[in-house]
A and B are shown apart, each in its own frame.
Chain A
Amino acid sequence: MFLKVQSATNLGLETMGVDVEVNIASRGLPVFEIVGLPAKSVDESKERVRTAILNSGLEFPQKRIIVNLAPADIPKEGSFYDLPIAVSLLAFVTNCRIPENSLFFGELSLDGTLRHTKGALLLALFAKENNIGNVFVPEDSANEAAIVKGINVFSVKSLSSLLLHLLNKEKMEPLEYKKTDSDIFKAKAEFDMAEVLGQEQAKRAIEIAAAGGHNILMIGSPGSGKTMLARALPGILPPLQDQESLEVTKIYSAAGKIPPGGSIITVCPYRAPHHTISRIGLIGGGSKPKPGEVSLAHRGVLFLDEFAEYPRATMEVLRQPMEDGKLTISRTMASVDYPARFILAASANPCPCGYLQHPKKQCSCSEREIRRYKKRISGPILDRIDLHVDVPVVDAGELSETGQGLQFLESSAKIRQRVIKARNIQQERFKNDNIFTNAEMRNEQIKKYCQLAKTAKQILTAATNSFNLSARAYFKTIKTARTIADLAEAVDIAQEHVAEALQYRFKEN
């Protein structure tokens, strides 16, 4: 007897259909075999399926069972073939009808229930694109798949409940999408901006970074509050827009990072890997390429603390994603595209010992050591950072005692309001450009959207001469000025916006 069940496999963010063909021969010795280049996890599916069927109170056929995963020349990986294989065997045992126009996807537990399986969202998107009306996914992954409208998502609890549905005894209803907040991404700022005393300029720079999606580098001595500022950053990031949400959720679904029952991600991701991270860990890879930190930080923030400590090779791999907002990972088995449009927030010490420019401690580095240390952050990377800001050491005790400058303390919530407003202006501006933020503007877009007032042009020209600005620095300043103008809700870029933007330029010394 020949049976066929449809499923699909994810490769990176792409999905392709897989037919699970099962032949149960009445002649020959009993055997249960999977062909079609199964990896170990697929091969072990045999034991899970056999036990799950037995534990669901059914007979496992003592026949010659051959499972073929077609197309047969593509290596198969993952545990989600359990369900389609089991369904075809159920159909044989109970004579139930396998529903047409349906995808099955999910890992089985030995007791016959289904487990949370990664990639359910991608499967649902594939079903919709290919006009497949029904998808059967594990209960824990169903809400993730139900984000996609226009298809029936069936939430399968266990093999026995699925069987009752297939036998038309107890029909399951398609799942209604429930919006749940994925706790892992619930705004998790460790500090409120109001808790950071002093650092007025750095805070302003961070606000601009969040508003316009600009990369930012903070330089300061240990204990000056760089890390604290960076950890307060998630609190002022705007919520993701619908399309951004879907992009981010797809990546997290493919990486299996959406928790059971979780759904669409609406909060900007915030990733802070340690500087011992490998190149592959940062940009992604593996024989079946997995997304790296840059992709997990897509549409969010990638915070790299102690940036100068990153090995040169690790740092350099950031160049392409910082420029293109995406990257292609090619391996012998597959070549995969992942989006990676993130805000790079980096922090570094001014010198190896860290105490250069410190008001109280003496720096113990020689000139040569300082020069060498400064060269550790690669030039091309520095070139792609729009905002450079010093974070001087603050005597927090004295500040809170005297109360100096405390009148300027603002809460994260208040800053976030301004950031959201500025982002909305950008969304309106770029609605036909397929970008979201000012930082993503290319030169032609800068020409189109960045009208400089006459005086603004004058000081930019004057600054180009007195500060020796390069062509790239010139355009970076305009982009930053655009964001500052958006924060001020100004249509044209005025002199004051350019003047402030110049504060964040890269300074040689």
Chain B
Amino acid sequence: MGIYISQDDVKYPKLLKELGKEMPKQLYYKGRWDESIFENCLAVVGSRRMTTYGKQITQKLVGQIASAGVTIVSGFMYGIDAEAHKAAVDVGGRTIAVMPCGIDRVHPDYQIKLYNDILENNGLIISEYEGDSQPGYWTYPARNRIVAGISKAVLIVEAGEKSGSLITANWAKKFGRKVFALPGQITSLVSTGTNQLIKEGAEILIRADNILEYFELNGSSALTEPAEVGPREVFPRSSLEDKIINHLQREPMEMDLLARNLQTETAELGRTISMMEIKGQIKKENGKYYVS
């Protein structure tokens, strides 16, 4: 038997007590149970099949929100969930992972490093299931209920038409939590769900302040800027670099497309791109370059 907090316990999260018959009987946990962690919780969920856009936004905005002192709650699944936990851990923020399986199981197992990082940063791993029981089809939506229930607001980063993230959004609506959604391109398959949510009245997320204002927090002071990388000064910026940045700011693209748009030979472009990567100006992800 693992350690748990039952629903009668004084330390049981207050927000969960409002859920009535949906309230979990007990919560098994790993980490140090500190009630302050439940004060300002934001659930960040999204597609497993995230895009570079979703990943970038999560890293940036969730990082800012977490560093302002908001606890990030998510489901530890790969994709946006894992990215949200990571963003929080990276800025030294606290984060809660709600597992769809028994508390002793790390699921998915290859994210063990993230699991340990969460605990090291005073985060919590919780689950309503004991031992090392397997996740089932029904445990995922049940897990989403806790994710939404424990939080004051829910942010959906990317969601397809029938995404599990929309289940979380529905729980949030049912429990009267604020729902934020990140707008995306209407052609993107993993933005149909979020765009639909916005159409139905979810709050649109454009800047981290949108959420921080809701939590009545001011995050700009706590924000840690990434340190400047050395080589930036050694190699001066060229006009081609400026053009590349201009193009990539509009949309991330592959090397070949960039070469065609800029009417440059790939050999020359490749050189410049390498330099820019070293300087940390741009990054390659999923075959495409984007401004970092």
A200 touching B259, Cβ below 8 Å: yes
- Distance, CA A108 to CA B257, complexed state (A): 63
Q: Given B48, B257, B270, B271, which contacts A367 in the complex, CB threshold below 8 Å? A: B48
A469 to chain B, nearest CB (A): 11
Q: A390-B287, A405-B260 are in contact. Are A500 and B277 (CB under 8 A)?
A: no
A371 touching B229, Cβ below 8 Å: no
Instruction: Give the size category of B's interface with A.
Output: 35 or more
Segment at the interface with A among B5-13, B56-64, B126-134, B278-286: B278-286
**Interface status of B120 (Cβ within 8 A of chain A):** no
**Interface status of B255 (Cβ within 8 A of chain A):** yes
A459 touching B235, Cβ below 8 Å: yes
**Interface status of A320 (Cβ within 8 A of chain B):** no
Q: Given B110, B266, B271, which contacts A371 in the complex, CB threshold below 8 Å? A: B110
- Distance, CA A385 to CA B79, complexed state (A): 30
**Interface status of B116 (Cβ within 8 A of chain A):** no
Question: Which of B259, B286, B287, B288 is packed against the most chain A CB atoms within 10 Å?
Answer: B287
B226 to chain A, nearest CB (A): 13
CB-defined contacts of A466 to chain B, threshold 8 Å:
229, 231, 277-278, 280
Q: Is the interface of A mostly helix, strand, loop or mixed?
A: helix
B59 to chain A, nearest CB (A): 14
**Interface status of A31 (Cβ within 8 A of chain B):** no
Q: Given B254, B267, B272, B275, which contacts A390 in the complex, CB threshold below 8 Å? A: B254
Q: Number of A residues whose C-beta is below 8 Å from B? A: 35
Contact with B along A320-359 (1 / 0, CB 8 A): 0000000000000000000000000000000000001100
CB-defined contacts of A368 to chain B, threshold 8 Å:
108, 110
Contact with B along A68-93 (1 / 0, CB 8 A): 00000000000000000000000000
B254 touching A367, Cβ below 8 Å: no
**Interface status of A404 (Cβ within 8 A of chain B):** yes
CB-defined contacts of B110 to chain A, threshold 8 Å:
368, 371
A204 touching B267, Cβ below 8 Å: yes
B14 to chain A, nearest CB (A): 35
B229 touching A201, Cβ below 8 Å: no
**Interface status of A509 (Cβ within 8 A of chain B):** yes
Q: Given A201, A394, A463, which contacts B255 in the complex, CB threshold below 8 Å? A: A201
Residues 466-509 of A at the B interface (beta carbon under 8 Å):
466-467, 484, 496, 499-500, 502-503, 507, 509
- Distance, CA A392 to CA B258, complexed state (A): 12
CB-defined contacts of A392 to chain B, threshold 8 Å:
254, 256-257, 287
A405 touching B284, Cβ below 8 Å: no
B285 touching A499, Cβ below 8 Å: no
- Distance, CA A503 to CA B284, complexed state (A): 11
B284 touching A507, Cβ below 8 Å: yes
A367 touching B78, Cβ below 8 Å: yes
B96 to chain A, nearest CB (A): 22
- Distance, CA A363 to CA B273, complexed state (A): 28
Contact with A along B231-273 (1 / 0, CB 8 A): 1001100000000000000000011110110010111001111
CB-defined contacts of B210 to chain A, threshold 8 Å:
none
A499 touching B287, Cβ below 8 Å: no
**Least CB separation from B286: chain A residue:** A357
A499 to chain B, nearest CB (A): 4
- Distance, CA A503 to CA B265, complexed state (A): 14
**Interface status of A362 (Cβ within 8 A of chain B):** yes
B283 to chain A, nearest CB (A): 10
Q: Which residues of B contact A (CB under 8 A)?
A: 48-49, 78-79, 108, 110, 189, 229-231, 234-235, 254-257, 259-260, 263, 265-267, 270-275, 277-278, 280, 284-288
Q: List 15 A-B contacts (CB under 8 A).
A: A198-B256, A201-B256, A201-B266, A204-B267, A356-B286, A362-B49, A405-B256, A405-B259, A405-B260, A459-B274, A466-B277, A499-B270, A500-B270, A502-B278, A503-B255
Known: A407-B263, A459-B275. 16 other contacts (CB 8 A): A201-B266, A204-B266, A356-B286, A357-B288, A362-B189, A367-B78, A390-B287, A404-B260, A408-B259, A408-B265, A462-B234, A466-B280, A502-B277, A503-B255, A503-B273, A503-B274
